[in-house]
Amino acid sequence: MAIWKFPQGSLEVFEGDLTRSTADAIVNAANSGLLGGGGVDGAIHRAAGPELLSACRDVVAQIGSLPPGLAVITPGFRLSARHVIHTVGPVWRGGSQGEERLLRSAYAQSLDLASRHGLTSIAFPAISCGAYGYPLELAAPIALDELRAGLAQGLVRCAALCLRGERAFTFWRGRAEALFGPPQVP
């Protein structure tokens, strides 16, 4: 784990299982139908139990499919986290289809939604970096910049990136160090 302390809060980068996070909310890198799937999305749905799928169906019945860059919130059900914030990241199409704007929005909307619900801590996966193909070297500075901006705005007190595997952790930690300097807490 690596932690950077800022006047408004802390940014954490750690390796682990997002579904075990004790943050107030975890972020689901969802598909627009919110019905579960592979990767992080499927893991969150399995860990939260069938109630999460039912809640997501209710959301979709009310608003339709969730467009990329927006976010909605549901209870966490069987998770340690009290809430799941579902956001749809962009599919990488070479960078000329508004992908950066949509990825920034996915992070920003999730942070804003956490703030509006009085949550103080939030844990994210690397949105769009799996099946959606967003290049890590382009996604990392966007994600880290948006998390830092959310802290600076006082939206949450702790923003975290939860990564799967030592290789992913090492990559993201290195990008965070390049932006923020060495972590204050190992």
Please report, for the chain, the start and end positions of each structural domain, with discontinuous segments joined by +.
2-180
Between CA 26 and CA 73 the distance in angstroms is 10
Between CA 15 and CA 77 the distance in angstroms is 23
* pTM value > 0.85: yes
The residues assigned a catalytic role are 41
Confidence of residue 139 (pLDDT cuts 50, 70, 90): very high
Could you read off the pLDDT of 2-37 as tens digits, one per residue? 999 999 999 999 999 999 999 999 999 999 999 988
Fold annotation for 2-180 = Leucine Aminopeptidase, subunit E; domain 1 (3.40.220)
Could you read off the pLDDT of 56-104 as tens digits, one per residue? 999 999 999 999 999 999 999 999 999 999 999 999 999 999 999 999 9
Between CA 124 and CA 85 the distance in angstroms is 9
- Give the three-class secondary structure for 57: helix
pLDDT given at position 38: 87
